[in-house]
Amino acid sequence: MTKTVQVLLARRPQGDVTADCFKRVEVDLAAPAEGQVLIRSRYLSLDPYMRPRMTETRSYTPPFELGKPLTGGVIGEIVASANPKFSAGDTVIGMLDWASHTLHDGKGLRKIDPAIAPLPAWLGTLGMPGFTAWYGMNRLCKPKAGETVFVSAATGAVGQIAGQLAKLAGARVVGCAGDDAKCNFAVRELGYDACFNHRLERDYGAMLDRLCPKGIDADFENVGGKIFHAVFARLSDFARVAFCGAISEYQDKEPMAGPPKMFAIVQRRLSIQGFIISDHLPLMGEFASEVGALVRAGKLKSRETVIDGLDNAPQAFMGLLKGENFGKLVVKVA
Amino acid sequence: MTKTVQVLLARRPQGDVTADCFKRVEVDLAAPAEGQVLIRSRYLSLDPYMRPRMTETRSYTPPFELGKPLTGGVIGEIVASANPKFSAGDTVIGMLDWASHTLHDGKGLRKIDPAIAPLPAWLGTLGMPGFTAWYGMNRLCKPKAGETVFVSAATGAVGQIAGQLAKLAGARVVGCAGDDAKCNFAVRELGYDACFNHRLERDYGAMLDRLCPKGIDADFENVGGKIFHAVFARLSDFARVAFCGAISEYQDKEPMAGPPKMFAIVQRRLSIQGFIISDHLPLMGEFASEVGALVRAGKLKSRETVIDGLDNAPQAFMGLLKGENFGKLVVKVA
């Protein structure tokens, strides 16, 4: 018998996520039954997409269930196995509970080699955020040399990779982030041509006119809201929008109106594509090979914030939704 | 020397197009110089896209020039030719002036065979509106059997073809139009499964919930504004929007806000593609062969409104923007 700590969804948030949306429980887990493994969590990934899953929506991406553990990307170690594919000591990655230990049937669980990259990187550049950045930038935005690409949340887990991929394609890359340190990091470390602090700037349009004088040819959209409105108004003819997230809208009680003048979509032949990376898992191998090569060649930098202890995950997640993290946010569970 | 009547853009409209936006002039035309032809206009196509071209915009589709004739799709007859490619008596189609006669260098002018179809059809089903419908429906909406497709302006020049192409693909097709006679025509003649009169309906959302109970898998958007907002809220996962026009917004003095909750684009993995058919001229042959075959097989119906006399073109165009035409609107110039 193993004691596990789990974090449950206790209440669906109305507007801002609050501490009482979460509940910590201790549960006894039985030994693995035939086919099962017992996993000890080492790192838990916290990502903005979890916020919409806390609300019930009509989308077929299932919302988190009330009274059940939240789930997320987890790197863990097999503690005990009754599944021939896994042995005690294996390091694995999968969509698991926010929990110290999980009993799992092994489906969708992948073994990883911790010698290749530090464990948090498997939840960032080499994991779902990196895959999301690669798919959205290289498959949807398709930047060409000399084009201008905008990345909102420029230093977030996804944005920091997306911006660097656009630079590697030869584009001028402009972003925005929520404080000056992030903007400095974007320009000095990630290679952005410019990055503005959207908390200090009142007139996003004037700022974009200055930083993107030839318009915006591709937008990797993570933020939505007023920043997207300003970007939308400056999209060039035949511009592509890879719509990945809208973090500024997740906690709104009333949905915000879309940008004015939808007819611009026709006049400027815009292409706007929403995507969720889990629809594109068959491309995972291609991503891993391309981005893995870039990482090995030292061509992709990344920054992580590591929070200590599962009990701090709710607080860290609330901070993530307010932009308090820097780069990829992971929780060191144990 | 030939006298021609021309209709000039006298003033850019602010909001509704009014009669004083147009000016009728008579001009003397010289005989064709080397390489030129003199064309007598027979039919002039009037289309909604002309309205945005009356305003100055930042798009690179050039606006009409002040003090110059408006232009549009015209079918005419060569009266005199100093161009070896054309002979007097040829019937031709091209982008020409709103005028009784035009001197032209022959570039972009195509000969057509009037025996194949009545002349107005060359400006409708077999012309740019048909090409627009075919590209938007078959290349962007890509309806599958059993899917639900929505077509706004269901009986307009483009909509009437788009809706029938969706039916031929096996989709359930729902539309809206501006009066009961048009709705009846859509259902009885064009084969729409349902069509509602948007002038009688206050709650578009409730109507769409009733007519499209499984959501909307593809939207051929001609109208924009409140109808698009209602459609947007009901798009299914992986739905496609072919954004062709936004006639309800063309005369707005203040641009209307977009639909709320842009994050739906992500959640439902929407694909929204604006297009202007002149970008796709290389596909014209494929369109002509596919749609020509459907016309010969009697599988595409269409309705035209023919207005008599170039002097009535401005009034007819103002009516078009208010939905007063029925089907494709053409002016019989002479």
As a whole number, mean pLDDT of residues B255-280 equals 95
Q: Classify residue B322: in a domain, yes or no.
A: yes
Residue B302: its pLDDT value, please? Answer: 94
- B135, B240, B244, B267: best to mutate for the A interface, most A CBs within 10 A: B267
| Nearest residue, CB atoms, A224 vs list B52, B59, B262 | B262
Residues B192 and B56 in one domain: no
Residues B315 and B255 in one domain: no
- Supply angle C-alpha B320, B325, B328, rounded to 5: 95
Q: Classify residue A285: in a domain, yes or no.
A: no
B172 falls in which pLDDT band (50, 70, 90)?
very high
Higher pLDDT, B59 or B36: B36
Question: How do residues A115-149 score in pLDDT, each as one tens digit?
Answer: 888 999 999 999 999 999 999 999 999 999 999 99
Contact list, B239 vs chain A (CB under 8 Å): none
Residues A177 and A57 in one domain: no
**Are the Cβ atoms of B57 and A250 closer than 8 angstroms?**
no
- Supply angle C-alpha A323, A329, A332, rounded to 5: 140
Question: How do residues A165-179 score in pLDDT, each as one tens digit?
Answer: 999 999 999 999 999
A61 falls in which pLDDT band (50, 70, 90)?
low
Q: Is the pLDDT of residue A60 over 60?
A: no
Distance in Å, alpha carbon of A54 to nearest chain B alpha carbon: 13
* Contact status of A187 with chain B (Cβ, < 8 Å): no
Q: Classify residue A298: in a domain, yes or no.
A: no
**Are the Cβ atoms of A272 and B268 closer than 8 angstroms?**
no
Nearest CA in chain B to A140: B271
**Are the Cβ atoms of B246 and A228 closer than 8 angstroms?**
no
List all residues of chain A from 124 to 163 with a beta carbon under 8 Å from chain B.
none
Residues B133 and B64 in one domain: no
- A214, A267, A276: best to mutate for the B interface, most B CBs within 10 A: A267
Q: Which amino acid is at B197?
A: N
**Are the Cβ atoms of A258 and B255 closer than 8 angstroms?**
no
Is A165 in contact with A151 (CB distance < 8 Å)?
A: no
Question: How do residues B64-108 score in pLDDT, each as one tens digit?
Answer: 999 999 999 999 999 999 999 999 999 999 999 999 999 999 999
Q: Classify residue B15: in a domain, yes or no.
A: yes
* Interface predicted TM-score of the whole assembly (ipTM), two decimals: 0.93
Residues A164 and A274 in one domain: yes
| Nearest residue, CB atoms, B269 vs list A255, A269, A276 | A276
**Are the Cβ atoms of B266 and A273 closer than 8 angstroms?**
no
Q: Classify residue A297: in a domain, yes or no.
A: no
* Contact status of A279 with chain B (Cβ, < 8 Å): yes
As a whole number, mean pLDDT of residues B222-241 equals 97
**Are the Cβ atoms of B261 and A267 closer than 8 angstroms?**
no
From A48, A59, A67, A128, select the one nearest A95 (Cα to Cα): A128
Dihedral angle of Cα B104, B110, B111, B117, to the nearest 10 degrees:
-130
Residue B56: its pLDDT value, please? Answer: 78
Distance in Å, alpha carbon of A268 to nearest chain B alpha carbon: 6
CA distance linking residue B228 with residue B152, whole number of Å: 8
- A51, A265, A273, A278: best to mutate for the B interface, most B CBs within 10 A: A265
**Are the Cβ atoms of A262 and B246 closer than 8 angstroms?**
yes
Q: How many CA atoms lie within 13 A of A154 on its CB side?
A: 34
* Contact status of A216 with chain B (Cβ, < 8 Å): no
Please identify, among A261, A278, A295, the residue that sits at the C-terminal boundary of a domain.
A278
Residues B175 and B262 in one domain: yes
Residues B260 and B308 in one domain: no
| Nearest residue, CB atoms, B59 vs list A57, A267, A276 | A267
Distance in Å, alpha carbon of B237 to nearest chain A alpha carbon: 7
For the residues of A290-316, what is the DSSP string, one character each? HHHHHHHTT-----EEEEE-GGGHHHH
As a whole number, mean pLDDT of residues B298-303 equals 95
Question: How do residues A70-100 score in pLDDT, each as one tens digit?
Answer: 999 999 999 999 999 999 999 999 999 999 9
Contact list, A263 vs chain B (CB under 8 Å): 52, 224, 245-246, 249-250
Residues A117 and A162 in one domain: no
Spell out the residues 6+ positions from residue B135 whose beta carbon is closer than 8 angstroms to its own. Answer: B275, B277, B280, B283, B287
| Nearest residue, CB atoms, B265 vs list A61, A243, A267 | A243
Contact list, A237 vs chain B (CB under 8 Å): 59-60
Q: Which amino acid is at B77?
A: E
**Are the Cβ atoms of B250 and A263 closer than 8 angstroms?**
yes
**Are the Cβ atoms of B258 and A257 closer than 8 angstroms?**
yes
Residues B140 and B77 in one domain: no
Q: Classify residue B242: in a domain, yes or no.
A: yes
Output the domain CATH number for residue A8: 3.90.180.10
For the residues of B267-283, what is the DSSP string, one character each? HTT-EEEE--GGGGGGG
Contact list, A258 vs chain B (CB under 8 Å): 257-262
CA distance linking residue A144 with residue A165, whole number of Å: 11
Residue A62: its pLDDT value, please? Answer: 82
Residue A255: its pLDDT value, please? Answer: 86
**Are the Cβ atoms of A266 and B279 closer than 8 angstroms?**
no
Contact list, A261 vs chain B (CB under 8 Å): 249, 255-256, 258
Q: Classify residue A267: in a domain, yes or no.
A: yes
CA distance linking residue A306 with residue A328, whole number of Å: 8
Residues B105 and B136 in one domain: no
* Contact status of B220 with chain A (Cβ, < 8 Å): no
Output the domain CATH number for residue B193: 3.40.50.720
* Contact status of A17 with chain B (Cβ, < 8 Å): no
| Nearest residue, CB atoms, B261 vs list A255, A273, A279 | A255
From B221, B290, B272, B65, select the one nearest A271 (Cα to Cα): B272
Q: Total domain count for chain B?
A: 2
Question: How do residues B143-169 score in pLDDT, each as one tens digit?
Answer: 999 999 999 999 999 999 999 999 999
Nearest CA in chain A to B242: A266
Nearest CA in chain B to A242: B266
Contact list, B261 vs chain A (CB under 8 Å): 249, 255-256, 258
Nearest CA in chain A to B235: A59
Residue B60: its pLDDT value, please? Answer: 55
Question: How do residues A204-261 score in pLDDT, each as one tens digit?
Answer: 999 999 999 999 999 999 999 999 999 999 999 999 999 999 999 988 888 899 999 9
Q: What is the mean pLDDT of chain A?
A: 95
Q: Which structural domain range is residue A29 located in?
A: 2-123+303-332
Residue A274: its pLDDT value, please? Answer: 98
Which residues, in sequence order, are bridge partners of residue B44? B74, B331
CA distance linking residue B319 with residue B221, whole number of Å: 20
From B190, B192, B188, select the one nearest B299 (Cα to Cα): B190
**Are the Cβ atoms of B266 and A275 closer than 8 angstroms?**
yes
**Are the Cβ atoms of B270 and A272 closer than 8 angstroms?**
yes
Residues B182 and B105 in one domain: no
Which residues, in sequence order, are bridge partners of residue A134? none
**What angle separates helix A204-211 from helix A225-232, to the nearest 10 degrees?**
50
User: What's the pTM?
Assistant: 0.94
Phi/psi for B238 (5° steps) reads: 65, 25
Q: Classify residue B198: in a domain, yes or no.
A: yes
Q: What is the mean pLDDT of chain B?
A: 95
Spell out the residues 6+ positions from residue B99 whose beta carbon is closer than 8 angstroms to its own. Answer: B4, B5, B6, B7, B41, B69, B310
Residues B118 and B134 in one domain: no
- Which ranges constitute the DSSP H helices of B116-224? 119-122, 128-134, 159-168, 180-188, 204-211
